[in-house]
Amino acid sequence: MSQLSEAHLATPPTRAPVTALGDYVEILKPRVMSLVVFTGVVGLAVAPGHLHPVLAVVAVLCIAIGAGAAGAINMWYDRDIDAIMRRTAGRPLPAGRMMPGEALGFGVVLAGGAVLIMGLALNWAAAGLLALTIGFYVVVYTMWLKRRTPQNIVIGGAAGAFPPLIGWAAATGGIGWGAIALFAIIFFWTPPHFWALALYRADDYARAGVPMLPVVAGPRETKRQMLLYTLVLWPASLAPWALGIAGGFYAAAALVLSALFTGTAMRVWRDESERSARLMFRFSLLYLLLIFSALLVDRAGAALAPGAWR
């Protein structure tokens, strides 16, 4: 091999990495997006009124893209702490597979496009709520609260609770008490869900300087607050039944699921090992999936046999 080619190999030209398509998908946080889409679909489905199927698909698409855009901008802003944490070090930005400006541009274009299409195709109330959700997640949670207060995911959790409101607004042009009940379920579900994760990832958060509750107040206080939030979740989860947007099947499912969720929180309270926290984190995901599924089943049952389900 010639000297020239050896030198060429030793000092590769500094060209921007060509980002693989999979990395574009990864910065949209597809797992978070799937939960957002699901709760948005439920908001759309249980709202009074009828929406053309094509417009319903467009609404769901806009919610998904908006959520993905918020995730991309979050990854752009958090790339410094993502590089420190084990859980996030392999993401496209800290791993050097994507340029920061590329992620920011991608997120901003998607966010703008999703809001614009939502406004033009559905209505501007839904578009405004979508813009508010993206702005809340990026500015209030990511840039303001996340690195400053242990209440970051309590207040910031509102961003994750907005999607049923967006779905509801897409179908009706406004928001109603039913939509607020769905918002409340996700809002009170968020702290025990995230703190369960933070309990067994506390060292990671501490290293990155993120003041999650277990890092700042310790595991005991975190477990106490997790338990309290699961208790607050009982009335919140029964609100759709109390407001008349769901029937007896949903109420029974909500009671059973809330009891099980509180049960996992009590287990975390008693157990010093991280096993119970991992279990609670996994169950929290199942809780949200099942309680919103129960609402869908209840509504479908009410539509098929109105008398039998009430």
Going by C-alpha positions, the residue among 130, 150, 20, 120 that lies closest to residue 65 is: 130
Q: Other CB atoms closer than 10 Å to residue 84's CB: what's the count?
A: 15
Q: How far apart are CB 193 and another protein at their closest, in Å? A: 32
User: What burial class does residue 192 get, using C-beta atoms within 10 Å of its C-beta: 0-12 exposed, 13-18 middle, 19+ buried?
Assistant: buried
20 binds another protein (CB under 8 A): yes
CA 143, 144, 148, 149: dihedral to nearest 10 degrees?
-120
Among 9, 10, 303, 304, binds another protein (CB under 8 A): 9
Q: How far apart are CB 63 and another protein at their closest, in Å? A: 14
Q: Other CB atoms closer than 10 Å to residue 144's CB: what's the count?
A: 15
Task: Give the total of residues touching another protein (CB under 8 A).
Answer: 19
Cβ closer to another protein: 8 or 224? 8
Q: Dihedral of CA 239/243/249/250: which sign?
A: negative
Rounded CA-CA distance 282/205 in Å is 19
5 binds another protein (CB under 8 A): yes
Q: How far apart are CB 233 and another protein at their closest, in Å? A: 37
Cβ closer to another protein: 9 or 304? 9
> Binding string to another protein for residues 222 to 261, with x set by CB under 8 A, is what?
----------------------------------------
> Binding string to another protein for residues 28 to 57, with x set by CB under 8 A, is what?
------------------------x-xx--
Among 86, 101, 120, 308, binds another protein (CB under 8 A): 120
99 binds another protein (CB under 8 A): no
Q: How far apart are CB 1 and another protein at their closest, in Å? A: 8
Q: How far apart are CB 5 and another protein at their closest, in Å? A: 6
58 binds another protein (CB under 8 A): yes
Q: How far apart are CB 21 and another protein at their closest, in Å? A: 5
Cβ closer to another protein: 18 or 304? 18
Q: How far apart are CB 9 and another protein at their closest, in Å? A: 7
- Cα-to-chain-centroid distance, residue 232: 20
Q: How far is CA 153 from CA 122, 140, 161, 187, in A?
A: 30, 10, 11, 10
What angle do the packed helices 177-200 and 152-161 form, to 10 degrees? 130
- Check residue 218 and give left, alpha or beta (phi > 0: left; psi -120 to 50: alpha): left
Cβ closer to another protein: 39 or 123? 123
CB-based contacts of 200: which residues, under 8 Å, 6+ apart? 274, 277, 278, 281
Cβ closer to another protein: 92 or 178? 92
117 binds another protein (CB under 8 A): yes
What angle do the packed helices 100-121 and 53-77 form, to 10 degrees? 160
* Binding region for another protein (CB under 8 A): 1, 5, 8-9, 12, 15, 18-21, 24, 52, 54-55, 58, 61, 117, 120-121
